[in-house]
Structure 1
Amino acid sequence: MNVIVQPLGALLKMIFDVVGNYGISIITFTIIVKLAMIPLTIKQSKSMKKMQEIQPQIKELQEKYKDDKEQMNIKMMEFYKENNVSPFGGCLPLLIQFPVIIGLFTVLRNPMDFGFTQEVVQAAFLWVPNLSQSDPWILPLLAGITTYLSSAIMPNTNNQQKTQLNVMKYIMPVMIFIWGRSFPAGLALYWVTSNIFQAVQQILINKPNLKQVEITR
């Protein structure tokens, strides 16, 4: 994990040395990291779109071989191979991003391990008197709301995935709000910034598809 954590900590410190404000450094840091992850996000979106397009054929295969699970699995894998798509294509980018997210949390939870002084970390930012301490209401509430919004605009490919997204849509914001009240405010600031970036990014990715739908109508 240090292989990921140390470069991220160095990046945050480098940004701070330029901008001179810990809160602005966290926002800039989050945006830079999210920009670096755009290729993974695009790959994930393309995979989910492809899976959505072939859902009718998948349902036909499932119905045709519903009494023979082994044969159904064989035919499904053949179908995926023929269409050059992986059922796990949408999950792989998330798995790659997971250690990066853990690294980000480690850096922002222990910033003094990466060259920050206590005075810098405990400085006020906007309405938050101390970014190293938890913000009891505003940032956790914003974190919960933006988590809901970023989940609400995510596409789904099938009923099972729709159910999973609905669970995440309503449960995760509550959990993030609760956690945000105990996390350092710097972590909550990162989460809010990350969610806003992700929501805007997903809207831009979905926009060409929306135009195509309007044209076909």
Structure 2
Amino acid sequence: MLFLSGCTEVNKPITSESEGFWNEYIVYPLSLLITKTAEFLGGNFGLGIIAVTILIRLFILPLMIKQTRSSKAMQALQPEMQKLREKYSSKDQKTQQKLQQETMALFQKHGVNPLAGCFPLIIQMPILIGFYHAISRTEEIAQHSFLWFDLGVADPFYILPLIAGATTFIQQKMMMAGTENQNPQMAMMLWIMPIMIIVFAINFPAALSLYWVVGNLFMIVQTYFIKGPDLKKAAATENAGGAKK
């Protein structure tokens, strides 16, 4: 709540005089970093956003790796957890307590912490939201252009929104490789999120769309290197299933 309280100020320009913990220690330093990076790159705020986006993603990369490994560990235990749920299917209190005990014993046996995947997310979300605020609330950005678009207004040709949607789909597809059939809700989000991103990007300044595109491309490369063997296995499974049909 302390970090996200600054979300109510999304339409207020960020300056050195902006008050509050969120503005002073999260948003303004990131805004200053974008501005100084753009100045270093010859006053090109488009390149500044790209460079700082990559820098931020590299900074939180260890957290993302930890989160991905935790997710893979939990996924590997799903068959055994399903057996426990079937074994203790009764809804009475004693049976459910026994299920919890057996589940925790399973986690301890394999050295898995079910909360380990949450902590990296809690740490990185304020950074990413703060960066989003820094881009949208830094007035200098809106006064510049990059490639074919003005950073302060929506892409008139809808190219960035479409790329943002496509890269979101690819990135999510890679992250959920091999799990779509296990979780229908996640499979649904595979289509809903890209559509939402396209709608937002059509209406938001192009600077934010540029941030989404660069961030997604980074995540695609990152996911490829972290989950490479899993992606090849999932692709082989899909091909085998298609061949049988």
TM-score of the superposed pair, with normalisation by structure 1:
0.86
Match of 2:89 among 61, 66, 76: 66
Instruction: Map 1:115-134 onto structure 2 (within 5 A).
Output: 116=140, 121-128=142-149, 130-134=150-154
Instruction: Map 1:41-190 onto structure 2 (within 5 A).
Output: 41-67=64-90, 68-112=95-139, 116=140, 121-128=142-149, 130-136=150-156, 137-155=158-176, 162-190=183-211
Whether contact under 8 Å (1:49, 1:157) holds in the other structure is no
When structure 1 is superposed on structure 2, of 77-86 and 38-47 the one drifting more is: 77-86
Pair 1:22-2:45 in alignment? yes
Going from structure 1 to structure 2, the CA distance change for 1:149 and 1:171 (only over 3 Å counts) comes to same
| SS in structure 2 at match of 1:104 | helix
Going from structure 1 to structure 2, the CA distance change for 1:58 and 1:93 (only over 3 Å counts) comes to same
Pair 1:7-2:29 in alignment? yes
- 1:86 deviates by 2.0
Aligned partners of 1:188, 1:211: CA distance in 2, in Å? 30
Q: Give the counterpart letter for 2:152 in structure 1.
A: S
Structure 1: state its 5+ residue gaps. none
The number of residue pairs the alignment matches comes to: 207
Q: Give the counterpart letter for 2:118 in structure 1.
A: C
Going from structure 1 to structure 2, the CA distance change for 1:138 and 1:158 (only over 3 Å counts) comes to closer
TM-score of the superposed pair, with normalisation by structure 2:
0.77
Q: Give the counterpart letter for 2:155 in structure 1.
A: D
- 1:169 deviates by 1.0
| SS in structure 2 at match of 1:88 | coil
Deviations 1:40-89 (A, max 9, x none): 11101111121122222212211111112232122212322332212232
When structure 1 is superposed on structure 2, of 68-77 and 183-192 the one drifting more is: 68-77
Whether contact under 8 Å (1:135, 1:184) holds in the other structure is yes
Whether contact under 8 Å (2:174, 2:231) holds in the other structure is no
> Which residue number in structure 1 is paired with residue 10 of structure 2?
none
When structure 1 is superposed on structure 2, of 177-186 and 69-78 the one drifting more is: 69-78
| SS in structure 1 at match of 2:203 | coil
Whether contact under 8 Å (1:22, 1:121) holds in the other structure is no
The structure, 1 or 2, with the larger RCO (C-alpha pairs under 8 Å, 6+ apart) is 1
Q: What is the aligned-residue RMSD (CA, Å)?
A: 2.4
Q: Give the counterpart letter for 1:101 in structure 2.
A: L
Pair 1:32-2:52 in alignment? no
Whether contact under 8 Å (2:166, 2:194) holds in the other structure is yes
Whether contact under 8 Å (1:44, 1:91) holds in the other structure is yes
When structure 1 is superposed on structure 2, of 189-198 and 1-10 the one drifting more is: 1-10
- 1:147 deviates by 0.7
Deviations 1:115-134 (A, max 9, x none): x3xxx632221111x11011
Whether contact under 8 Å (1:156, 1:162) holds in the other structure is no
Aligned partners of 2:230, 2:195: CA distance in 1, in Å? 31
Aligned partners of 2:109, 2:210: CA distance in 1, in Å? 45
Q: Give the counterpart letter for 1:144 in structure 2.
A: G
